[in-house]
């Protein structure tokens, strides 16, 4: 089978000179495990759509056709002129010359336009390169039956598209043969990162590690000390770079960590510097993407940086996207540590270090059953972006291309943003602090200690609202006299004649995940199903953020406002029904009214209930499903919660299958850069809290907690601590040389280390101690007597005072011994 990995336009591509301008498609042949490149055979050309025929001649125009499009925004059919040009570059020029005309679809990237018009689905398998129909892998009949039976009452559009999504998700992801490359460049001086634009410094070593078990090591012959292994290539610099790039180009996929920004760019520019005659299989396009002639280059750092991946897929497991931080957080391994400059390492050590980086880069696509590769494939298939694009562009670009494909597929005119705004207008209520429309609702927390609280939340709330109320740019305020349904609070009309394009496709994601992939993944433990389930969740959750973003191609303010406002309505309705039940179900109302319960706290889509009866919980679930059209889930049951007056700041003792577990929200002690002594104290306090059984034992626990915190405070005052215990540990997010104006404390400490000759890089963890007179010292240099007692006591207080507030302990008087008004 041939898997379509990438679609590139060769207009400016130096590999394909002396040929006519056109599209090249890169397929992965899974039998030969090689890339195969094919020209477009359809004669497709770029175009834009216009209301009027241009009244001028232009040599770039190849042809003009009159075509009919469906205009869903104005609910009409529309005849437009399709103005076909010879090259994509002509599109902006033509747009400029047609200022007085009405123009549609002129801003779509040409490769996207090509993928859409040919109905191609990137990362799906094809029989031949001339076909635009992907191979329909035969799915298990039972699975199909199960999916269908779970779907229920949906629209025709939904069922028309359902088979497509089943194919997209159930077609397996091939384990493509791939390699990772990493290079080491001789540092000019400490603190100075070589500039890949000029590539002045020599490359000293290169390592390539392949998924096929092969690896290739290169060392620059200028180094006096030869490598001790025979299989290391000890070559001239240009020979070594040239050979390494050729090896990568023979792999279907080449992986790098920051290859666009450094490695590949450096190799290319260095090679050009060394020899003008060599044919280099790499070029950098206008977007700064580094392309190989054959191989598809994925820069994993860029992919891991994407909010969709960092925030939603890996739930913020890594804080910054250095190789060290990503690998440590995702699979607990890291770079090889060394002292001094890389160039000064003995050759064998240098190779070991270099090898590890390349290996880690490869392993990022292998750990956890190749989850990262799978996420990239699913994202490419669902959003119709090729692999190069989907791993580099933001979720906004993903969705733009996804919906462009859907519009073109159904011959629907892609609306102009200004037309959406003109027709639908703006939000009717402004949000707080100048926001275009009001955001999420917060039910202010009630501070105190509460027993048997239950946290409930609406499942994928915003996406569920989009689905339930059929919200899309063309269906909100549709204007059809026959459409009578309205949004609950804003009263905006909702279309019942058509299903919205955005709502239909999000419903498909939501329904497939909820009714099939999520329960199935849980039941079977199958990692492939788990990957699909995880991906759909990413797509659904990020979609809401995009639909509400005014930069989105299909942004419609009343739609975005309608979604958040209905979210507020849902949360308030839930509270009202809990406190004062009026909805009738199988439990008599009189009984429910005796079971009424208070809400303790609410935020966006979740709500904490005070000691609700099981019947009440069941009742609320029914109420939400029947009256609000949304599922309510029990997120956690707490033996006890300690709420503070600040939002998203509480401690709960959650009842789990494996005993009680303390859950901390927003309080400082958990953060990883907090000094170990405070973390340890915090953990001890949590363990004490986990032992709480009832109100009586809570009082005893409170006394124990007070003693623990007092002991820590005493240790600080008497300076009986080691510098390690009180160190702050912060990872360096940029190279030291890039800090100029404001120098944060951890950077100051890093500079001191640098002065001592240590090599410091972005991603390194810097440990420092706060000392008297506002100075800082790296842990290595600090002495206990230097520590700033006042600062550390403040820190201790900032961690424990918020925790003591709901426990009703006065930090000032109990810990610091300050007298309160009552004492006088």
Least distance in angstroms from the C-beta of 499 to Zn ion: 10
Nearer to Zn ion among residue 492 and residue 642 (C-beta): 492
- Interior CA angle at 562 toward 559 and 566, to 5°? 150
Residue with tokens 């009578």: 484
Nearer to Zn ion among residue 75 and residue 758 (C-beta): 75
Give the containing element (helix H, strand E) for 620: helix 614-623
Q: How far from chain centre, in Å, is Cα 642?
A: 32
Backbone angles phi, psi at 7, to 5 degrees: -125, 120
Nearer to Zn ion among residue 52 and residue 480 (C-beta): 480
| DSSP codes, 303-336 | HHHSHIIIIIISTT--SS--HHHHHHHHHS--PP
Cα distance between residue 597 and residue 602, in whole Å: 14
Least distance in angstroms from the C-beta of 494 to Zn ion: 8
Of residues 506 through 545, those in contact with Zn ion by CB under 5 A are none
Least distance in angstroms from the C-beta of 501 to Zn ion: 14
Least distance in angstroms from the C-beta of 481 to Zn ion: 9
> What ranges in 223-292 are assigned the alpha helix state H?
237-249, 264-274
Q: Name the segment binding Zn ion (CB under 5 A); options: 309-317, 393-401, 495-503, 608-616.
A: 495-503
Nearer to Zn ion among residue 399 and residue 476 (C-beta): 476
**C-alpha distances in Å from residue 754, one per residue of 321, 338, 557, 736:** 23, 14, 52, 9
x/- map, 296-335, Zn ion, by CB under 5 A: ----------------------------------------
> How do beta strands 178-185 and 203-210 pair?
antiparallel
Of 697, 598, 648, 699, nearest to 802 by C-alpha is 648
x/- map, 732-771, Zn ion, by CB under 5 A: ----------------------------------------
Cα distance between residue 357 and residue 547, in whole Å: 38
Least distance in angstroms from the C-beta of 497 to Zn ion: 4
The answer to whether residues 226 and 159 touch, using CB atoms and an 8 Å cutoff, is no
Q: How far from chain centre, in Å, is Cα 75?
A: 35
Cα atoms in the Cβ-side hemisphere of radius 13 Å centred on 201: 18
Of residues 191 through 250, those in contact with Zn ion by CB under 5 A are none
Least distance in angstroms from the C-beta of 107 to Zn ion: 28
Least distance in angstroms from the C-beta of 56 to Zn ion: 40
Structure tokens that stand for 658 in this block: 């494996």
Cα distance between residue 194 and residue 45, in whole Å: 42
Nearer to Zn ion among residue 147 and residue 495 (C-beta): 495
From candidates 372, 466, 495, 750, binder to Zn ion by CB under 5 A: 495
Least distance in angstroms from the C-beta of 480 to Zn ion: 3
Cβ neighbors of 649 (< 8 A, separation 6 or more) are 445, 665, 666, 667, 802
Cβ neighbors of 148 (< 8 A, separation 6 or more) are none
Cβ neighbors of 374 (< 8 A, separation 6 or more) are 173, 528, 531, 535
Cα distance between residue 805 and residue 802, in whole Å: 5
Of residues 377 through 416, those in contact with Zn ion by CB under 5 A are none
Classify burial at 189, counting beta carbons within 10 Å of its beta carbon; exposed 0-12, middle 13-18, buried 19 or more.
Answer: exposed
Least distance in angstroms from the C-beta of 479 to Zn ion: 7
Backbone angles phi, psi at 114, to 5 degrees: -65, -45
Least distance in angstroms from the C-beta of 311 to Zn ion: 35
Nearer to Zn ion among residue 485 and residue 772 (C-beta): 485
Question: How is residue 134 annotated by DSSP?
Answer: B
Least distance in angstroms from the C-beta of 473 to Zn ion: 13
> How do beta strands 659-665 and 606-609 pair?
unpaired
Rounded to the nearest 10 degrees, how much is the dihedral formed by the CA atoms of 94, 98, 104, 106? Answer: 20
x/- map, 465-494, Zn ion, by CB under 5 A: -------------x-x--x-----------
Nearer to Zn ion among residue 322 and residue 499 (C-beta): 499
Nearer to Zn ion among residue 398 and residue 498 (C-beta): 498
Cα distance between residue 668 and residue 681, in whole Å: 12
Nearer to Zn ion among residue 401 and residue 472 (C-beta): 472
Nearer to Zn ion among residue 205 and residue 503 (C-beta): 503
Nearer to Zn ion among residue 2 and residue 495 (C-beta): 495
Least distance in angstroms from the C-beta of 669 to Zn ion: 54
Of residues 568 through 627, those in contact with Zn ion by CB under 5 A are none
Nearer to Zn ion among residue 483 and residue 663 (C-beta): 483
Of 395, 396, 367, nearest to 538 by C-alpha is 395
Residue with tokens 């993407």: 289
Nearer to Zn ion among residue 445 and residue 500 (C-beta): 500
Least distance in angstroms from the C-beta of 482 to Zn ion: 7
Nearer to Zn ion among residue 9 and residue 469 (C-beta): 469
Nearer to Zn ion among residue 410 and residue 550 (C-beta): 410
| DSSP codes, 208-238 | EEETTS-EEEEEETTSSS--SSTTSEEE-HH
Least distance in angstroms from the C-beta of 483 to Zn ion: 3
Cβ neighbors of 281 (< 8 A, separation 6 or more) are 15, 245, 246, 249, 292, 293, 294
Nearer to Zn ion among residue 267 and residue 495 (C-beta): 495
Question: How is residue 130 annotated by DSSP?
Answer: T
Structure tokens that stand for 36 in this block: 């195969």
| Angle between helical axes of 527-547 and 557-579 (0-180°, round to 10) | 110
Least distance in angstroms from the C-beta of 51 to Zn ion: 25
Nearer to Zn ion among residue 357 and residue 474 (C-beta): 474
DSSP-derived 3-state class of residue 369: helix
Least distance in angstroms from the C-beta of 493 to Zn ion: 7
Residue 497 found at the interface with Zn ion (CB under 5 A): yes
Least distance in angstroms from the C-beta of 478 to Zn ion: 3
For the chain, the distance separating the N- and C-terminal CA atoms, rounded to the nearest angstrom, is 85
Nearer to Zn ion among residue 168 and residue 476 (C-beta): 476
Cα distance between residue 704 and residue 433, in whole Å: 44
Interface with Zn ion: number of residues (CB under 5 A)? 5
Least distance in angstroms from the C-beta of 67 to Zn ion: 26
Cα distance between residue 692 and residue 694, in whole Å: 6
The footprint of Zn ion (CB under 5 A) covers 478, 480, 483, 495, 497
């Amino acid at each position: 089978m041939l898997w379509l990995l990438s679609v590139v336009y060769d207009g400016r591509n130096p590999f394909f000179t002396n040929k006519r301008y056109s599209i090249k498609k890169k397929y992965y042949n899974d039998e030969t495990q090689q890339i195969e490149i094919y020209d477009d055979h359809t004669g497709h050309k770029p175009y834009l759509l216009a209301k009027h025929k241009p009244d001028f001649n232009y040599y770039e125009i190849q042809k003009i056709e009159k075509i009919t499009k469906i205009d869903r925004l104005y609910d009409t059919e529309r005849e437009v002129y399709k103005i076909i040009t010879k090259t994509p570059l002509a599109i902006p020029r033509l747009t400029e010359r047609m200022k007085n005309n009405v123009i549609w679809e002129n801003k779509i990237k040409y490769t996207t336009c090509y993928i859409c018009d040919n109905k191609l689905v990137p990362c799906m398998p094809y029989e031949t390169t001339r076909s635009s129909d992907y191979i329909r892998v035969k799915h298990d009949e039972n699975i199909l039956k199960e999916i269908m039976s779970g779907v229920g009452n949906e629209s025709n559009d939904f069922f028309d598209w359902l088979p497509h999504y089943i194919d997209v998700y159930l077609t397996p992801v091939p384990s493509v043969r791939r390699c990772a490359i990493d290079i080491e460049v001789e540092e000019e001086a400490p603190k100075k990162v070589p500039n890949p634009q000029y590539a002045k410094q020599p490359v000293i070593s290169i390592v390539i590690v392949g998924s096929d078990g092969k690896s290739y090591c290169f060392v620059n012959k200028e180094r006096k000390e030869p490598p001790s292994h025979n299989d290391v290539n000890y070559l001239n610099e240009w020979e070594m770079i040239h050979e390494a790039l050729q090896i990568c180009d023979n792999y279907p996929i080449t992986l790098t960590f920051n290859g666009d920004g450094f490695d590949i760019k450096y190799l290319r520019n260095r090679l050009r510097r060394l020899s003008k005659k060599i044919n280099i299989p790499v070029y950098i396009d206008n977007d700064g993407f580094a392309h190989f002639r054959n191989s598809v280059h994925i820069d994993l750092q860029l992919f891991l940086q994407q909010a969709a991946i960092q925030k939603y897929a890996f739930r913020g497991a890594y804080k910054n996207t250095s190789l060290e931080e990503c690998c440590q957080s995702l699979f607990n391994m890291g770079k090889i540590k060394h002292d001094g400059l890389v160039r000064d390492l003995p050759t064998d050590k240098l190779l070991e270090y270099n090898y590890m980086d390349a290996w880690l880069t490869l392993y990022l696509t292998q750990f956890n059953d190749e989850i990262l590769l799978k996420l990239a494939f699913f994202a490419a298939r669902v959003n119709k972006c090729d692999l190069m694009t989907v791993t580099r562009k933001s979720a906004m670009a993903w969705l733009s291309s996804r919906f462009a494909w859907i519009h073109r597929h159904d011959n629907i005119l892609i609306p102009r943003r200004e037309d959406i705004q003109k027709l639908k207008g703006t939000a009717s209520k402004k949000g707080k602090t100048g926001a275009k429309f009001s955001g999420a609702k917060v039910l202010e927390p009630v501070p105190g200690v509460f027993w048997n609280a239950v946290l409930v939340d609406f499942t994928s709330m915003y996406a569920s609202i989009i689905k339930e109320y059929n919200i899309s740019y063309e269906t909100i305020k549709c204007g059809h006299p026959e459409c009578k349904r309205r949004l609950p609070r804003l009263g905006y009309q909702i279309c019942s004649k058509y299903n919205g394009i955005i709502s239909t496709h999000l419903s498909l994601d939501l329904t497939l995940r909820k009714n099939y992939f999520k329960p199935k993944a849980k039941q079977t433990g199958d990692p492939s199903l788990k990957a699909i389930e995880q991906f759909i969740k990413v797509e659904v959750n990020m979609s809401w953020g995009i639909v509400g973003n005014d930069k989105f191609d299909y942004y419609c303010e009343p739609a975005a406002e309608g979604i958040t406002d209905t979210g507020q309505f849902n949360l308030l309705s839930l509270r009202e029904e809990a406190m004062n039940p009026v909805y009738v179900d199988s439990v008599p109302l009189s009984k429910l009214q005796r079971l009424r319960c208070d809400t303790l706290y609410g935020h966006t889509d979740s709500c904490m209930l005070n000691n609700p009866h099981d019947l009440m919980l069941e009742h609320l679930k029914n109420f939400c499903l029947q009256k609000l059209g949304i599922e309510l889930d029990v997120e956690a049951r707490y033996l006890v919660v300690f709420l503070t007056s600040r939002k998203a700041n509480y401690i709960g003792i959650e009842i789990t299958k494996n005993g009680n577990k303390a859950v901390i929200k927003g309080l400082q002690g958990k953060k990883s850069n907090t000094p170990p002594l405070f973390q340890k104290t915090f953990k001890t306090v949590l363990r004490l809290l986990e032992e709480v059984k009832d109100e009586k034992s809570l009082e005893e626990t409170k006394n124990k907690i007070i003693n623990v915190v007092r002991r820590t405070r005493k240790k600080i005052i008497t300076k009986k601590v080691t510098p390690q215990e009180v160190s702050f540990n912060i990872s360096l997010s940029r190279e030291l040389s890039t800090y100029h104006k404001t120098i944060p404390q951890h950077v100051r400490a890093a500079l001191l280390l640098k002065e001592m000759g240590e090599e410091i890089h972005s991603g390194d963890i810097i440990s420092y101690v706060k000392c008297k007179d506002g100075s800082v010292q790296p842990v290595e240099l600090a002495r206990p007597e230097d520590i700033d007692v006042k600062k550390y006591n403040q820190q201790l207080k900032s961690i424990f005072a918020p925790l003591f507030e709901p426990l009703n302990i006065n930090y000032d008087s109990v810990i610091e011994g300050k007298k309160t008004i009552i004492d006088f």
